[in-house]
Structure 1
Amino acid sequence: MNWEQLLSLKRFGDTNKRIRKEQDETRLGFEVDYDRIIFSSEFRSLQDKTQVIPLSKTDFVHTRLTHSLEVSVVGRSLGRKVGQKLIEKHPHLKNIHGYKANDFGAIVAAAALAHDIGNPPFGHSGEKAIGEFFKNGEGKAFQKQLTPKEYQDLCDFEGNANGFKILTESKAGRYGGLRLSYATLGAFMKYPKESLPKKPTNHIADKKYGVFQSEKEIFADVVNELGLLQRSQNDFSYSRHPLTYLVEAADDICYTIIDFEDGINLGLIQEEFALEYLSKIIRNTIRPENYYALSTKKDRVGYLRALAIGTLINEAVEIFMSNEEAILSGKFDCALLDKSTYEAQIRDIIKISVEKVYQSKDVVEKEIAGYRVLSDLLKVFTTAINNTHDNKASNYDKLIMHLLPENFKAINSSLYIRLLSVCSFVSNMSDSYAIMLFNKIRGINIG
């Protein structure tokens, strides 16, 4: 792979090639990507989607929206720092093509901003709840009517693939989705493969999948424009865009450190754990007198968090540059932080967060409720849309169809598209809206 192709400014539907040197410096193409994501309705719904603590009423806890904004900020720093080093190493990128360090930062920031845009309500348990409906619930009845790959898309419903769908899917008044640059779409594609075969190798790009069968055509267009390497001649799988590693690192840094911080601020983890574990990462930068001068737990933990994030950003940049050739050739097979000198400390922090936060009684109880909410919504809407397609709709089905937005009413489409449309509709809901709709449909709350 080469950087000239990887930094493509092309957008869905373009007929003329966009040249970096011809860009208006006051509103660069890659910066437009960020703006379009910010103003999308799908991004706004993240303000009421669970990050870790579902439906929290405190102001300490992060939602998907605040998490995405923070990942984007960290991603911008990573991109700019790497961009500066890449331009020093490959001066033709600036001298001939006009690229600047901030272009790399803008691409990573936009892709990082969108990285969770396809995630269902109720955190990662939302993905599992949708998959469970088709694997072991009433949706299993559809298996024989679908291809293996179509069925796998539903059984392992993936927020990354749904995110690509949101960013690229044409709708009424929105041709080509958000029409992001292909460079940003490439950086967004964390797992550039389809759902089958499942985990064919231990390569990080094979951990999950990133495209539904419904978006394969636009996906192929993007990977061809960017020159991503096909990893298997027999499978629809490709090497990652190099900047994807920076998007992933930004996410890894934020959820490792900030979920830990949330747990401490909520009282689920003792403050002493922050000093013990984070100080091992920031041992060269921490000033004890500054730490003890802060009067509140929140401020003290925030001080440690800021130093830890800064340390991990700088290390991720060095790891990326040390492995640039392997990354460009598709041979770098793990996340950047897997090569971190602080890997053991990161693993310890995540272990504590899992035990004290992710598996806390409050989180588990609300995830269980999320399973019931999503399962019931899927049952009601898949039944209504399929009965409508088969001209067997009851009066109840007709009423339910009034609740389905026009852009999700794939009544005259294949079974796969109908089912996927319902999954996308449910996935795009906020936590509160999903609960409200669930209660109304069950007649619990009709006010």
Structure 2
Amino acid sequence: MNWQSLYTTQRTGSSRGNSTDPVRNSFLRDYDRIIFSSGFRRLQNKTQVFPLPGAIFVHNRLTHSLEVASVGRSLGKAAGEQIAARHACANETHTEFYRYELASVIASACLAHDIGNPPFGHSGEDAIRAFFRELEGDNKKIIEDNLSPNQRRDLEYFEGNSNAFRILTHNFNEPEPGGYRLTYTTLAALVKYPCTSAEGFNKNSISTKKSGFFDSEIDTYTQIAAALGIPRLAEGSNIYARHPFVYLTEAADDICYRVIDLEDAHRLRIVSTDTFMDLFLPFFDGETGPYTRRSYIDGKLAAINDDNQKVQYIRARWIGLMVDKLAAAFMAHEEQLLAGTLDKDLLKCLSPADHELIGRINTFSVENIYNYRSVVEIEVAGYNVIGGLLRELVQAVLHPGLSKSGKVLKIIPAQFPVTGKGRDVYGDVRSVVDFISGMTDLYAIDLYRKMTGISIPDIR
């Protein structure tokens, strides 16, 4: 791969290239299309970590995505400036892209990185996987007889990252192809695990740690890879090298959730101020910058009275420090990035001391935040709600001749087409999963109550 061919203004569903808009270039239009979409707005009521809503405001998927996009823009700007400076003798158009437009690409990819996540956080993914893995009897046989191994893995290993790519590129029940019709560049910067479900979930490679596209989107990603010169890692496979921009998108997410989840826990009084400081202040030991040296940080903290303000100050300084370090790590591994051989994320490229400190944050968060009682409760609720919805809707799709099925199928919106005759089992089941994965937490709970008779809907 080379920097000159790793971007294009080509869009899904369109043969046209450059935008003729004098104000918004192609990559700014990507950002606008995502932020004004209904799929993005629904993130407002999807769980990040802690249950929603509450008396104390904590992050949801939407606020998290906005913050990741902000950090991603900074990473894209820092890396782009260095690429432009290092390859200044290259074509002027390429220099302009890296200096001024890469930041928008990374911000757009970050904005959309969670758009495929179902309700109730990662437990929503687990609930969908568990439902299809635990199918029994006739339903299991219908799935096995009508779906390919890769299509079954799409369901049994349902992945929010693959679902994001589907949402952004699939036209669902609309005549115009291409979904959101984003540039190939932004989409490539989003796909962290460029492989199918059948080839993914293999931790021997960073490209196959999970999956990046479903069976239904293989051709779309193949076209993107061909246009951008992304190589296959194995001949005859659908496993690709990671696009270098993905590392920046991933780094922005990694930075944010490590510090933001702890900031939320502090606001909820799950984590003390002293504990928060013990986890993050050591990163500034040995720093010599005018605003990052430990003595400066300590002096600023001493002048702040409110504990929440202290935590916010450290969060801001730590994010700035990580942006600088990870942009430098990105450029330090330029050769491996372009060769498609960098088999670890940018956080793992930090110094051993920083890597150890990141490990402390990870361990603490798992033990004290992600297994906190209210977090576990929302995960259990997610299993029951999503499992119950799938049970009703999949049963109707697989057995359309049953008297109840016709009524149940009318609940599925027209944008998620179902044949109602069992002719396209994979397509019909995918439409059910599309419908459920796009729900907000509250909508899923409300529909579950109505379908199970816990509450009776009003006649409107």
Q: TM-score w.r.t. structure 1 length?
A: 0.94
2:422 is aligned with 1:410: no
Bigger drift between 7-16 and 101-110 goes to: 7-16
Bigger drift between 171-180 and 363-372 goes to: 171-180
Q: Give the letter aligned to residue 100 of structure 2.
A: N
2:7 is aligned with 1:29: no
Question: 1:207/1:48 Cα in 2 relative to 1: closer, same or farther (>3 Å)?
Answer: same
Question: 1:26/1:93 Cα in 2 relative to 1: closer, same or farther (>3 Å)?
Answer: farther
C-alpha distance in structure 2 between counterparts of 1:60 and 1:93, whole Å: 48
Q: 1:43·1:65 contact (CA, 8 Å) conserved in 2?
A: yes
C-alpha distance in structure 1 between counterparts of 2:42 and 2:32, whole Å: 16
**Aligned-pair distance for 1:181?**
0.5
Q: 1:263·1:356 contact (CA, 8 Å) conserved in 2?
A: no
Q: Give the letter aligned to residue 372 of structure 2.
A: S
C-alpha distance in structure 2 between counterparts of 1:247 and 1:313, whole Å: 12
Name the residue aligned to 2:233.
231
How big is each residue's C-alpha offset from its partner over 1:285-305, in whole Å with a ceiling of 9 and x where there is no partner? 242222122222211100111
**Aligned-pair distance for 1:438?**
0.4
C-alpha distance in structure 2 between counterparts of 1:49 and 1:405, whole Å: 20
Name the residue aligned to 1:332.
342
Name the residue aligned to 1:147.
148
Question: 1:92/1:99 Cα in 2 relative to 1: closer, same or farther (>3 Å)?
Answer: farther
- Aligned pair count reads 440
**Aligned-pair distance for 1:51?**
0.6
Q: Give the letter aligned to residue 39 of structure 1.
A: F
Name the residue aligned to 1:6.
6
How big is each residue's C-alpha offset from its partner over 1:204-229, in whole Å with a ceiling of 9 and x where there is no partner? 11100011101111111111111101
2:55 is aligned with 1:45: no
2:205 is aligned with 1:195: no
Bigger drift between 97-106 and 189-198 goes to: 97-106
Q: 2:197·2:211 contact (CA, 8 Å) conserved in 1?
A: yes
Identity %: 40
Q: Give the letter aligned to residue 5 of structure 1.
A: S
Question: 1:325/1:25 Cα in 2 relative to 1: closer, same or farther (>3 Å)?
Answer: farther
Q: 1:54·1:123 contact (CA, 8 Å) conserved in 2?
A: no
Name the residue aligned to 1:303.
313
5+ residue gaps, structure 1, are none
Question: 1:383/1:340 Cα in 2 relative to 1: closer, same or farther (>3 Å)?
Answer: same
**Aligned-pair distance for 1:417?**
1.4
Q: 1:93·1:99 contact (CA, 8 Å) conserved in 2?
A: no
Name the residue aligned to 2:280.
278
Question: 1:135/1:279 Cα in 2 relative to 1: closer, same or farther (>3 Å)?
Answer: same
Give the RMSD, CA atoms, in angstroms: 1.7
Name the residue aligned to 2:408.
400
Q: Superposed, which structure 2 residues align to 1:117-136 within 5 Å?
A: 117-136=115-134
Q: TM-score w.r.t. structure 2 length?
A: 0.92
* Secondary structure of 2:41's aligned partner: helix
Q: Give the letter aligned to residue 121 of structure 1.
A: P
C-alpha distance in structure 2 between counterparts of 1:2 and 1:25, whole Å: 28
* Secondary structure of 2:399's aligned partner: helix
Question: 1:371/1:96 Cα in 2 relative to 1: closer, same or farther (>3 Å)?
Answer: closer
Q: Superposed, which structure 2 residues align to 1:79-228 within 5 Å?
A: 79-92=76-89, 95-97=92-94, 98-138=96-136, 140-141=140-141, 142-171=143-172, 172=174, 174-200=176-202, 202-228=204-230
**Aligned-pair distance for 1:175?**
2.9
Q: 2:11·2:17 contact (CA, 8 Å) conserved in 1?
A: no
Name the residue aligned to 1:445.
455
Name the residue aligned to 2:266.
264
* Secondary structure of 2:189's aligned partner: helix
C-alpha distance in structure 2 between counterparts of 1:198 and 1:58, whole Å: 40
How big is each residue's C-alpha offset from its partner over 1:95-138, in whole Å with a ceiling of 9 and x where there is no partner? 14442422110000000000000001010110010000011245
Q: 1:198·1:208 contact (CA, 8 Å) conserved in 2?
A: yes
Question: 1:232/1:317 Cα in 2 relative to 1: closer, same or farther (>3 Å)?
Answer: same
Q: Give the letter aligned to residue 253 of structure 2.
A: D
**Aligned-pair distance for 1:140?**
4.0
C-alpha distance in structure 2 between counterparts of 1:360 and 1:185, whole Å: 35
Query: Which of 368, 373, 379 is 2:380 aligned to?
Result: 368
Q: Give the letter aligned to residue 83 of structure 1.
A: G
Bigger drift between 157-166 and 407-416 goes to: 407-416
Q: Give the letter aligned to residue 323 of structure 1.
A: H
**Aligned-pair distance for 1:94?**
5.6
Q: Which runs of 4+ in 1 moved over 6 A?
A: none
C-alpha distance in structure 2 between counterparts of 1:24 and 1:344, whole Å: 48
